[in-house]
Amino acid sequence: MTHVMGILNVTPDSFSDGGQWHQADAAIQRGLALASTGADFVDVGGESTRPGAERVDAEVELARVLPVVRALSAEGVAVSIDTMRAATARAAVEAGAVLVNDVSGGLADPRMAGTIADLNCDYVAMHWRAHSTEMDRHDAYDDVVAQVRDELAARVEALTRAGVDLGRIVLDPGLGFSKVAESNWPLLARLEDWAGDARVLIGASRKRFLAPDKAPLEREHATTAVTTMCAAHGVWAVRVHDSQAARDAIAVVSSWNNGRDRPE
């Protein structure tokens, strides 16, 4: 069954919920709420990757995420750490995180691959071409499915060459990252063509390509529709803001499939 990864932005400037969970106490309570309403993982991030976002110092990122990771892990929540920095990944795993979610797929920090090999934890490698301040300029593809497939394959090769267990790698097509609008849809419609047999994480939640004329919060129904399609196609996990809506959608797909298999 498809897993739910609940988004917890411990930042003041994320595109959908920036500032709501910026303080540690509020973030911890939000993480517990996500877990109680269906999140299998709570993805803690201390650096916004919205279009145009500037990077924060490593010390700031660590100060934001580590108290939250420790507290949620102590409560039995499965925590993933959303970071492009190897040092943050290591510190978060040592604090209890079980998965590293790297939107750069190891490209932003050359130490990441070796760090993940050493930590021997699950690792999400996302398709990525540039940092947030310039990523929209890199939305240039002759065949987006083939190019994302090949660029992700190059990341997998680099990771395994550094000693990362192939079975630990999860692929993410990077919806919205160097993909402004129409480049995103073929990656959803043709999952098998770029993912092969790998586990897949899809992060479409409230992103602008779902409904460019609507505000992020108004894209929640479209997000749930994508979650439903992902569950129907056997996607390993979806990364979402509303864990309850995602869990309900996944349950509907499961019941639908069970009904088809049940004898009359």
Specify whether the CB–CB gap between 168 and 121 falls below 8 A. Answer: yes
Q: What are phi and psi of 14, to 5 degrees?
A: -70, 155
Considering the candidates 155, 179, 239, 247, report the single residue annotated as catalytic. 239
Specify whether the CB–CB gap between 116 and 89 falls below 8 A. Answer: yes
C-alpha–C-alpha distance, residues 88 and 46, integer Å: 10
Query: Which residue shows structure tokens 């097509």?
Result: 173
Active site annotation includes 239: yes
Considering the candidates 168, 206, 207, 247, report the single residue annotated as catalytic. 207
Helix (H, G, I), strand (E, B) or coil at 64: helix
Active site annotation includes 214: no
Specify whether the CB–CB gap between 218 and 211 falls below 8 A. Answer: yes
* Amino acid occupying residue 43: D
Query: Which residue shows structure tokens 């509020």?
Result: 26
Specify whether the CB–CB gap between 99 and 121 falls below 8 A. Answer: yes
Strands (DSSP E) found in the chain? 3-9, 41-45, 79-82, 99-102, 122-126, 169-172, 199-202, 237-240
Where in the sequence numbering do the catalytic residues fall?
207, 239
